[in-house]
Amino acid sequence: MRSPKLKSLTCAALLPLLLSGTSALAGEFDGYTLRVKLIGGAQYEPLYAEIPKWEEMTGAKVEVLSRKNHFELDREIKQDIAAGTLDWCVGSNHTSFAPQYGNIYIDLNGVVADDVLAEFDTLAIKNSTVNERLVQLPRHSDVSNLFYKKSLYEDQANKDAFKAKYGYDLTPPETFDQFKDQAMFFANAPTFYGTQYVGKDEAITGRFYEMLVANGGALFDENWNPTFNSEAGVKTVMWFKELYDSKAVPAGVLNYLWDDTGLGFASGTVALNLDWAGWAAFFNDPANSKVAGDVGLVRAPKGTGGKRSGWAGSHTFSITETCDNKEAAASFITFLTDHDRQMIEARKGLLPTRTQVWKDVKAEFEAAGNAFQAEVVDTYSKSMAEDAFTPPLIEPWIEVSNEIWPQLQAAILGEKTPQEALDQAADAARLIMEDAGYIQ
Amino acid sequence: MARKRKSPYKTRQALTPYLLLSPAFLVLLFVVALPLLFSLYTSFTGYRLVRPESLWSWVGTRNYERIFADVDFWIAFGRTILFLAIALNLEFIFGLGIALLINRITWGQRTLRTIMMFPMMFSPILVGYQFKFIFNDNIGVLNNALQSLGISDAATPWLVDRHLAMFSIIFAEVWMSTSVFAILLLAGLFAMPRDPIEAAKVDGCSPLQVFRHITLPFLMPFAFIAMTIRSLDVARAYDIVDVMTGGGPAGRTELLWTLIARVGYDNSRMGQANAMAYVSIVLSIAFTYYFFTKLVAARRYMGGAA
């Protein structure tokens, strides 16, 4: 077995070695202060507890200028760009956000050693690449799969009633149509709901997008003309609307974001929950969750196009072009994404971006007798490998998303027909794409 | 005949006032005028936050033309006026009631005044989260209370329904800021001379008549000062709305500043956002002008009455 300490040292030392041609010994960056802006939040903090180890190893100090949620950090970075105050070196980034920042971040190809990059999942590296530049090093990834309350599916009365009503056996859903049927079947508002979905911001745009793809549709054609107001688009919106109209989801769902859906499922009042792996341990923890010990997990359902939904992205680290010590910055982000650091996050349920970590963390869960977490790793590794796809990695993605989600809400609430809502969103998206130069 | 030249002393004396005033002018110039002029300039450009070079791409009145043709902007504009009118009136009514009640108390008044100020001490973001939780349809305190008391068995969508969502936001805003009115009106009540009230009582006026014809007119200048301050605040409402509903769903609670912030920061279109902000300033100027006119009229009325 490889020594963790040796690996950390190797990762941290590799880049300076390559760049300077001198040996990367402890104290390589003695006296240097690395200024960083990081994403904050409970699930991100355990990694930052490792920073003193890098400081000790290299002699550098890390000054954390910001530790905010990603939306606030995004605003701050935009202000820094506008004010010309990019006087820091390392920033947290995300595959969905990266394209809008232009060339403020360096291309990590050649800066991070090829053999280090080769240890990452190919897809994660590909998704971190914008205009053929590797502008970020993936830290952990994100894709959704379907959690369900097992006891509901084991109940014979439920099985009989469902079969009688829908004509097929009650098993965890394989398609979005079955997902809808079962959510409606289990719902008993206001005390129990079939499912719930994130209802605003990029969150619902992302859900719409992945289901659109699963249903055989696309956001844009090859010339960047918006095409989401297609038949597949309308069918996708109808899935949200029918669940809403039948009260299979809470009435306030259009105000929900990730915390609301996760806490809702943990409260035991929801049957099915399409969510990311970060919640898995929480759902199965009796101290936090009323469904602990009763949680099942299956891959995200398939759409009518025969494809599973797989909207994915990665939290990442980037280095600014204006950084005054790119070697130290590269050493730092390599350290934060090395095998041992990723194991720390993977043990918490975050999806690693290094191939070996998937295997090692699964083995660790199995050795500890934690079959549920091992199954979580298994399910999510399959969906990351086979189903995952990112939103279009284009600069105006967030802007296009901001045109789509209010229209989705309007359609779900019945203020417009799904076709009207999507047509209006497509018109607005076309204007944005024209302004951005994608459509001539 | 040669003109008589000013002595250096006189020149210095003539320049002294300007010299003394210059720090104030410079501060105003750099802190207020220049940023305003800069943002006015950017409203005529295609300035995008993430493209600093776009600061120099002059687009003329294109941003303004887009705004004038943008139905969503004008709906948000109208909704902001409605929000402002309802919130200010409710805050005035509740603030007046609280001030009158506290004015009657003879014991523990200072403690009550302090307690009354508590909501103002919270950050608007915290207030937003507090009410977001209270009004949550599934796990919120309000729905649970209504269901437990048997008043309703439904999960009322407080933050989704068209009318209830605006009500919820107005409720949070009024809860947080009514004490501004209460404290200013209470100051007015403390400053009020007792003689006219005593005279009115001697003349046989009922308590309602005393309030209607003496107390209220005396308090109105204070009320208009509070309204001016609060109208500027409410017209810029952002934090509470952003936390509670984010302007949604489907733009049902979209106010000017949630829209402007989304355009400026999320969409990076700072030029267009600044154009929106300049149009929205009209709203603030209009309300400020209206309340100052009413303030002057109220003062004149009191002067005449005295």
Interface confidence (ipTM) of the complex? 0.76
CB contact under 8 A, B250 and A402: no
Q: Based on the fold, state whether residues A199 and A347 are members of the same structural domain.
A: no
Task: For A250, name the nearest residue in chain B, comparing CA atoms only.
Answer: B138
Tokens coding A370: 């934690």
Calculate how close chain A gets to B266, using CA atoms only, in Å: 7
Tokens coding B155: 């999960």
Residue of A74, A255, A267, A270 to mutate when probing chain B, most B C-beta within 10 A = A255
Q: Which of A362, A385, A408 is the last residue of a domain?
A: A385
Residue A362 lies in a domain: yes
Round to the nearest angstrom and report the end-to-end CA distance of chain B.
61
More confident residue, A17 or B149: B149
Under the banding of pLDDT at 50, 70 and 90, the label for residue A349 is: confident
As for how many domains chain A has, the answer is: 2
Q: Based on the fold, state whether residues A232 and A350 are members of the same structural domain.
A: no
Residues 6+ apart with CB under 8 A from B155: A189, A190, A250, A251, A252, B137, B138, B143
Confidence at residue B5, expressed as pLDDT on a 0 to 100 scale:
67
Chain B touched by A97 (CB under 8 Å):
no
Q: What is the Cα A63 distance to its own chain's centre?
A: 27
Q: Please name the amino acid found at residue B156.
A: T
CB contact under 8 A, B250 and A252: no
Residue A367 lies in a domain: yes
| CATH code (residue A271) | 3.40.190.10
Distance separating alpha carbons of residues A174 and A158, to the nearest angstrom? 18
Q: Which of A350, A366, A385 is the last residue of a domain?
A: A385
Q: Based on the fold, state whether residues A290 and A429 are members of the same structural domain.
A: yes
Calculate how close chain A gets to B244, using CA atoms only, in Å: 8
Q: Based on the fold, state whether residues A166 and A245 are members of the same structural domain.
A: yes
State the pTM of this model: 0.82
CB contact under 8 A, A264 and B138: yes
Residue A295 parent element (H or E): strand A295-298
On chain B, the residues whose CB falls within 8 A of the CB of A71 are 266
Distance separating alpha carbons of residues A418 and A332, to the nearest angstrom? 48
Domains of chain B: 69-305 (1.10.3720.10)
Chain A touched by B60 (CB under 8 Å):
no
Residue A80 lies in a domain: yes
Q: Based on the fold, state whether residues A44 and A135 are members of the same structural domain.
A: yes
**Closest Cβ–Cβ partner in A250, A254, A402 for B249:** A254
Residue A76 lies in a domain: yes
On chain A, the residues whose CB falls within 8 A of the CB of B134 are none
Residue of B241, B268, B274 to mutate when probing chain A, most A C-beta within 10 A = B268
Residue A126 lies in a domain: yes
Residue A179 lies in a domain: yes
Report whether A295 contacts A147 (CB < 8 A).
yes
Q: Based on the fold, state whether residues A174 and A290 are members of the same structural domain.
A: yes
Chain B touched by A399 (CB under 8 Å):
yes
User: Which of B255, B256, B268 has its CA nearest to residue B42?
Assistant: B268
Confidence at residue B13, expressed as pLDDT on a 0 to 100 scale:
84
Report whether B156 contacts B76 (CB < 8 A).
no
Q: Please name the amino acid found at residue A296.
A: G
Residue A17 lies in a domain: yes
Per DSSP, B4 falls in state P
What's the rounded mean pLDDT across residues A344-352?
A: 92
Q: How do strand A295-298 and strand A133-134 relate by DSSP bridges? A: unpaired
Distance separating alpha carbons of residues B173 and B157, to the nearest angstrom? 19
Task: For A193, name the nearest residue in chain B, comparing CA atoms only.
Answer: B138
Residue A73: pLDDT above 60? yes
Under the banding of pLDDT at 50, 70 and 90, the label for residue A72 is: confident
Residues 6+ apart with CB under 8 A from A52: none
Q: What residues make up the domain containing A247?
A: 144-311+394-435
What's the rounded mean pLDDT across residues A399-417?
A: 95
Calculate how close chain A gets to B160, using CA atoms only, in Å: 6
Q: What is the C-alpha radius of gyration for chain A, rounded to an integer number of angstroms?
A: 23
Calculate how close chain B gets to A189, using CA atoms only, in Å: 8
Q: Based on the fold, state whether residues A48 and A98 are members of the same structural domain.
A: yes
Residue A264: pLDDT above 50? yes
Backbone angles phi and psi of A202, in degrees to 5: -60, -20
CB contact under 8 A, B268 and A193: no
Q: Which of A368, A385, A402 is the last residue of a domain?
A: A385
Reported as a single tens digit per residue, the pLDDT across B208-251 is 999 999 999 999 999 999 999 998 888 888 999 999 998 979 99
Report whether A203 contacts A196 (CB < 8 A).
no
Distance separating alpha carbons of residues A174 and B228, to the nearest angstrom? 60
Per DSSP, A277 falls in state G
CB contact under 8 A, A398 and B138: no
Chain B touched by A409 (CB under 8 Å):
yes
On chain B, the residues whose CB falls within 8 A of the CB of A260 are 136
Distance separating alpha carbons of residues B291 and B222, to the nearest angstrom? 11
Q: Please name the amino acid found at residue A75.
A: R
Calculate how close chain A gets to B102, using CA atoms only, in Å: 39
Q: Based on the fold, state whether residues A13 and A112 are members of the same structural domain.
A: yes
Q: Based on the fold, state whether residues A138 and A216 are members of the same structural domain.
A: no
Task: For A263, name the nearest residue in chain B, comparing CA atoms only.
Answer: B139
**Closest Cβ–Cβ partner in B147, B154, B249 for A255:** B249
Q: Based on the fold, state whether residues A353 and A415 are members of the same structural domain.
A: no
Residue of B73, B266, B272 to mutate when probing chain A, most A C-beta within 10 A = B266
User: Concatenated DSSP letters for B98-144?
Assistant: HHHHHHH--SSHHHHHHHHHHHHHS-HHHHHHHHHHHT-TTT-HHHH
On chain B, the residues whose CB falls within 8 A of the CB of A190 are 137-138, 143, 147, 153-155
Under the banding of pLDDT at 50, 70 and 90, the label for residue A17 is: very low
CB contact under 8 A, B137 and A84: no
Q: Based on the fold, state whether residues A158 and A283 are members of the same structural domain.
A: yes
Residue A440 lies in a domain: no
Reported as a single tens digit per residue, the pLDDT across A176-217 is 999 999 999 999 988 899 999 999 988 999 999 999 999 999
Reported as a single tens digit per residue, the pLDDT across B264-281 is 988 889 999 999 999 998
On chain A, the residues whose CB falls within 8 A of the CB of B268 are 78, 100, 399
Confidence at residue B53, expressed as pLDDT on a 0 to 100 scale:
87
Distance separating alpha carbons of residues A398 and A402, to the nearest angstrom? 6
- Give the sign of the dihedral formed by CA B41, CA B44, CA B49, CA B53: negative
Residue with token string 């305003």: B36
Chain A touched by B103 (CB under 8 Å):
no
User: Which of B122, B121, B231, B240 has its CA nearest to residue B172?
Assistant: B240
On chain B, the residues whose CB falls within 8 A of the CB of A415 are 250
Task: For A412, name the nearest residue in chain B, comparing CA atoms only.
Answer: B250
Reported as a single tens digit per residue, the pLDDT across B65-79 is 999 999 999 999 999
Distance separating alpha carbons of residues A214 and A310, to the nearest angstrom? 8
Q: Based on the fold, state whether residues A247 and A285 are members of the same structural domain.
A: yes
